[in-house]
Amino acid sequence: MPIFEYEAVDAMGRPMKGTVSGADIGVAGQVLSQRGLKVQKLQSAIINDPLAPTVPDLPKQDKFGSQIVHVGDGIVGLGHLAAFTRQLAVLLHAGINPFEAFANLLRQVNHPVLSWFCEEAREATQRGETLASVFNNRPKTFNPLYRSLVQAGERGGFLVQALNEIATYIEAEIALRNQYRMATIYPKFMAFVGLVVMLLANSIGRSMTGNDIFKNPVLEARFWLVAGPILIGIFLFLRYGTRNPEIRTQYERFLASLPWFGNTVRQFAMAKFGRAFGALHRSGMPPSECLELASQATGNMAIERAMWPAVENLRAGKGLTESLAATGVFDHTVLQMIHTGERTGEISQMLDKLAEYYDQEASVRSKQTAVATGVLVLLIYALFFGYMILSTAGPIIQAYPDAMREVNDAGQ
């Protein structure tokens, strides 16, 4: 992408110098105008483009925590990030230059990380730096998808649209997570109540009879000698073991192979993929880069790796449908939709439908999973309490024949 040197003055008449990238000198001038600058001099600069996208080799992408699903790596919550992005889009759409936009946001945001970013961005834009470079300086706050869309929007002259696209993507992610949380409230509540009753069963029996009438295995030391190491092992595996890319990939492949749960996990991952791919494609990015970033958006290392060959196929010039079909992770219905979009030239519309399709599938699956989980929790607790009752009643039943024999002997 060509780089141009400029000299300009801002809305307050202050002189500014810097560089800006654009497809041509006209696009570069439009970018500067959007920032509220009055251009006095604009010419080509014979320098390398520091913002040119560099795509690492696919095997080097294999890093834990790089998945787009972890927006902000937990530093900034999704709700704060969506509100910040939407507010920035509104300010820029109103014709406010970036320097003043970040000054306004600095007074509005109530998250410390975003406040620091606004202060930093305000100073950087005052020096004439591009928004893309400003966001690229905070890779832990803004993920690759976010930064790529900002860069594409700024270069193409549709930054406000790109920011709205990002905000919509984040809001859809929040809605999907909330939907899953709501669907699993009932099973979680049942599990909590059952666990409390399980732990307090002896106390309840003692309050009723004055004695420990239940044989509760959870309160026995030998139970924890077996269950304790297992629970600790599961915790360590999920917390630390899955940081290894190979282990995580195999673990997620195992989850995908489970009869019911695996398909649900896949649907949620593909819903994220559909939204990310559609947003990136609408920004004008090449299909190979769209697929590369969207595969990370799934948050599923197994699916991400399965899509790597498709990225290479797209770079080699193969069609989108052909490349995606070779991965084996897309439904026949989805592939037909994409093929239709390629034939008719309405690929963006078909990608929107793809996202809607996977969102609907994920919604249905979440509700079905909630019902199935509730039944499973009930079954587990039924077996546990059944064991407690039988273990308590067992000695009584065994002693009953002896007691009856003694009664008969005493009667004779």
pLDDT of residue 88: 92
Query: Same structural domain for residues 101 and 158?
Result: yes
Q: How far is 195 from 29, CA to CA, in rounded Å?
A: 65
pLDDT of residue 410: 67
Residue 380: pLDDT above 70? Answer: yes
Compute CA 160 distance to the chain's CA centroid, rounded to the nearest angstrom.
23
* 269 exposure class (CB count in 10 Å sphere: 0-12, 13-18, 19+): buried
Q: Do 102 and 15 fall into the same domain?
A: no
Residue 67 forms part of a structural domain: yes
The answer to whether the CB of 329 falls within 8 A of the CB of 270 is: yes
Lowest mean pLDDT among 7-11, 30-34, 237-241, 380-384: 30-34
Mean pLDDT of 299-309: 87
* Whether residues 169 and 109 fall in one domain: yes
Contact 147, 161 (CB under 8 A): no
Domain boundary among 148, 174, 200: 174
Q: What is the pLDDT of residue 202?
A: 66
* Total tally of structural domains belonging to the chain: 2
Q: Tell me: do 86 and 38 sit in the same domain.
A: no
Averaged pLDDT, 341-359: 78
Give the structural domain span for 35: 3-44
- Identify which has the larger pLDDT, 86 or 215: 86
* Dihedral sign (CA 55, 59, 60, 62): positive
What is the tens place of the pLDDT at every residue in 119-164? 989 888 888 888 888 898 888 888 888 888 888 888 778 888 889 8
Q: What is the CATH number of the domain that holds 119?
A: 1.20.81.30
pLDDT digits (tens, 9 = 90+) for 2-30: 566 777 777 767 777 767 666 556 666 76
Contacts of 349 (CB under 8 A, 6+ apart): 341
Query: What pLDDT digit, counting tens, does each position of 208-237 carry?
Result: 666 666 666 777 778 788 888 998 999 899
Assess whether pLDDT exceeds 80 at residue 412. Answer: no
Q: What is the mean pLDDT of residues 258-264?
A: 77
Least-confidence region, from 44-48, 96-100, 229-233, 322-326: 44-48
Where does a domain end: 120, 142, 174? 174
At residue 230, the pLDDT reads: 92
pLDDT at res. 398: 64
pLDDT higher than threshold 80 for residue 66: no
Give Cα 271 distance to the centre of its chain. Answer: 10
Residue 316 maps to a domain: no
Q: Is the pLDDT of residue 1 over 70?
A: no
Which of 14, 39, 19 has the alpha carbon at shortest distance from 29?
39
Residue 340 has pLDDT above 80, yes or no: yes
78 and 32 in a common domain: no
* Per-residue pLDDT at 374 exceeds 80: no
Q: Residue 310, class by beta-carbon neighbours within 10 Å (0-12 exposed, 13-18 middle, 19+ buried)?
A: buried
- Alpha carbon separation from 212 to 97, 185, 384 (Å, rounded): 74, 33, 17
Dihedral angle, C-alpha 165, 103, 92, 277, nearest 10 °: -20
**Secondary structure element (H or E) that encloses residue 40, with its range:** strand 38-44
Q: pTM of the predicted model, to two decimals?
A: 0.60
**190 pLDDT more than 50:** yes
Mean of all residue pLDDT scores within the chain: 76
Indicate if 37 and 73 belong to the same structural domain. Answer: no
